[in-house]
Amino acid sequence: MTRTRGETPSQPDVTVRPPETLAFGAPRPSASTDDELEPVRRGLVLADKFVIEAMLGQGGMGAVYRANHRQLGAMVAVKFMRSSLLESKSVRARFWREVQVLARCRHPGVVSILDAGEHQGTPWIAMELLHGESWASRIAYLSMVPSEALEGVAEVFKVLAYVHKQNVIHRDLKPGNVMRLTSGAVKVLDFGLVYEETEEDLRITSPSVVIGTPAYMAPEQCLGRAPVPASDIYSTGIMLYELLTSRLPFEANGPGDMMSRHLYEMVPPLPESVGPGAASIDALLRQLTEKDPLRRPTATEALSLIEEVQAGLDPVALARRNALERARVGGLGREERALRPESSRSPTLRPAAPKGLVAVDVGDPALARSLRGALATAGIGLVMPGEGAAALVLVDVSGLVEDRLATAAHAHPAAGVVLLGVADLTEMAAAVRAGARDAFLVGTSEAEVVSRVRSLLRRRS
């Protein structure tokens, strides 16, 4: 097997953060930014106005540059669509959708658009230049204290209350798409995956295509269902967890595993290291990340909930509450601790390789044979059909996910854990929906697949 670009073999239980937005389903933007150099644009003059200077940042869809507005003598930011995506009609359509939504959504918390156009076939957007740093860079060196995180997230909810009222769903909220300005203000960027309930949008986004960034995707997004405003609330909940801890609530071995966790696992309790107020923020987090979108608060309700938590963080109120908590025999919190999953965050010895795995030949027999060899070499036991397999690996089930799963379930009734090799992330979501606990892209390295099998077996035992 060859390695898919952008994937690196990882040890079990290493957090995988797909670095950028993936609009799953072919064609999709590459997750990698390093190996796709954008053309040198310094000095380029756009629309006789904007002189391009240095690059400011890159995402899954575009490259953003600082530019000088010649006539106004003011600096702006210009985002060009990534050259590798120019061929894709749907990505182009989304780029123009972002332009139109930004033009309509004028709000202090939304980056303002100034102009847009096409330069030699490459669409671009000129925006106000923001001075500050993205939340992603901010938490890379230090997590936020509760007051800062709550204030920031409240600003995001203000934006959401505004855009949701206009039937606009952002669909890609994550720390890389929020900036904290040096003035302290917070701005939501990147409406490149925005969803509007219009016929036009249904055309750009066929219903079964899974879109988003797996680490922040709400369960309904993982299922490929039409996004709802509550999907943004869930993603903001995941961001809140990450702002406070500098880590994602779910550690996963890949996008399929990540989606399965959003679907089936609760966000773990916030660690006590978050500091005073952790319990009340945790209660808020539980509401924001309800599996059922109907049970999540709206953006406006979330704002009131944050205000309540903030009021509780007031030092006097907090001291009083802590005293009350202590008086309650200390039983509280034990249950929460019991719910905390066996965490790989505390160093533990790696258990011996679990036994009882079947690698099922589906698709390319040579791939299956080679993977079986790798599993055996890794000390993972292989058994025959009907011998009580604990887990199944289905190799290359592209286009046949549900069928293959049904046949395999019949042949291996005891196997509860299923890992599939699929063609793209839409198939990955279909696999998870059909009961698989993880899926990997065909082309993923053997070492990576073996490590995921190991991790799945360990979770099951």
* Residues found near ligand ADP in the complex (CB under 6 A): 21, 56-62, 64, 77, 79, 111, 127-130, 134, 176-177, 189-190, 192
Binding range to Mg ion, per CB under 5 A, among 93-101, 174-182, 244-252, 414-422? 174-182
Binding site partner of 231, from Mg ion, ligand ADP, none, Cβ cut-off 5-8 A by kind: none
Q: Rounded to the nearest whole angstrom, what is the least distance from the CB of residue 223 to Mg ion in the complex?
A: 23
**175 binds Mg ion per the rule CB under 5 A:** no
* Least distance from ligand ADP to the Cβ atom of residue 81, Å: 8
Q: Which stretch binds Mg ion (CB under 5 A): 33-41, 173-181, 229-237, 429-437?
A: 173-181
Separation of alpha carbons 169 and 229, rounded Å: 6
Q: How far apart are CA 164 and CA 94, in angstroms?
A: 18
377 exposed, middle or buried (CB, 10 Å; 0-12, 13-18, 19+)?
A: exposed
List the single partner that 62 binds among Mg ion, ligand ADP, none, CB under 5 to 8 Å by kind: ligand ADP
60 vs 249, which CB is nearer to ligand ADP? 60
- Under the binding rule (CB under 5 A), the answer on residue 177 touching Mg ion is yes
CB closer to ligand ADP, 173 vs 417? 173
Which positions from 189 through 228 interact with Mg ion, judged by CB under 5 A?
190
Residue 175 touches which of Mg ion, ligand ADP, none (Cβ within 5-8 Å per kind): none
Instruction: Pick the closer one to ligand ADP by CB: 128 or 272.
Output: 128
Residue with tokens 């106000």: 128
Q: How is 247-309 classified by DSSP, letter by letter?
A: S-S---SSHHHHHHHHHH-PPPPPPGGG-TTHHHHHHHHHHHT-SSGGGSPPHHHHHHHHHHH
**What is the smallest separation between the CB atom of 300 and ligand ADP, expressed in angstroms?**
26
- Select from ligand ADP, Mg ion, none the partner in contact with residue 111, using the beta carbon and a kind-dependent cut-off of 5 to 8 Å: ligand ADP
Partner whose footprint covers residue 127, from ligand ADP, Mg ion, none (CB < 5 to 8 Å by kind): ligand ADP
Distance between alpha carbon 69 and the CA centroid of its chain, in Å?
35
CB-count exposure of residue 198 (10 Å: 0-12, 13-18, 19+): exposed
Mapping DSSP onto H, E and C, the string for 78-128 reads: EEEECHHHCCCHHHHHHHHHHHHHHHHCCCCCECCEEEEEEECCEEEEEEE
Tell me whether residue 193 or residue 394 sits nearer to Mg ion (CB atom): 193
Tell the residue number behind the tokens 């409240």, with chain if given.
Answer: 154
Q: Which residue has the tokens 């839409």?
A: 426
Residue 445 site contact among Mg ion, ligand ADP, none (CB < 5 to 8 Å, cut-off depends on kind): none
What is the nearest approach in angstroms of ligand ADP to the Cβ of residue 257? 23
**Gap between the Cα atoms of 436 and 403, Å rounded:** 13
Least spacing, CB of residue 134 vs ligand ADP, in Å: 4
253 near 12, Cβ under 8 Å? yes
Tell how far CA 12 is from the center of its chain.
Answer: 19
Instruction: Residue 171: name its binding partner from ligand ADP, Mg ion, none (Cβ under 5 to 8 Å by kind).
Output: none
Q: Which is nearer to ligand ADP, 135 or 440 (CB)?
A: 135
Distance, in Å, from the CA atom of 14 to the CA atom of 253, rounded to the nearest integer, reads: 7
- Pick the closer one to Mg ion by CB: 65 or 440: 65
Distance of CA 318 to the CA centre of its chain: 33
Measured from the CB atom, the residue of 79 and 454 that comes closer to ligand ADP is: 79
Q: What contacts 176, CB < 8 A, 6 or more positions away? A: 20, 59, 134, 135, 136, 190
Cβ at position 112, least distance to ligand ADP in Å: 9
Of 172, 190, 232, 424, catalytic: 172
Tracing tokens 């360990």 back to the chain, one arrives at 458
383 within 8 A of 365, measured Cβ to Cβ: no
Which of 111, 139 has the CB closer to ligand ADP?
Answer: 111
Tell which positions 45-84 bind Mg ion, by CB under 5 A: 59
Least distance between Mg ion and beta carbon 137 (Å): 13
CB of 39 to Mg ion, least distance (A): 20
Q: Which residue is nearest to ligand ADP (CB)?
A: 59
* Residue 258 structure tokens: 């990540």
* 426: contact with Mg ion by CB under 5 A: no
Instruction: Tell me whether residue 172 is one of the annotated catalytic residues.
Output: yes
- Which residue is closest to Mg ion by CB? 59
Give the pair of three-digit tokens for residue 212. 């988003």
Closest CA to 359 of 403, 389, 322, 333: 389
- Contact residues: Mg ion, CB under 5 A: 59, 177, 190
Give catalytic residues, as residue numbers: 172
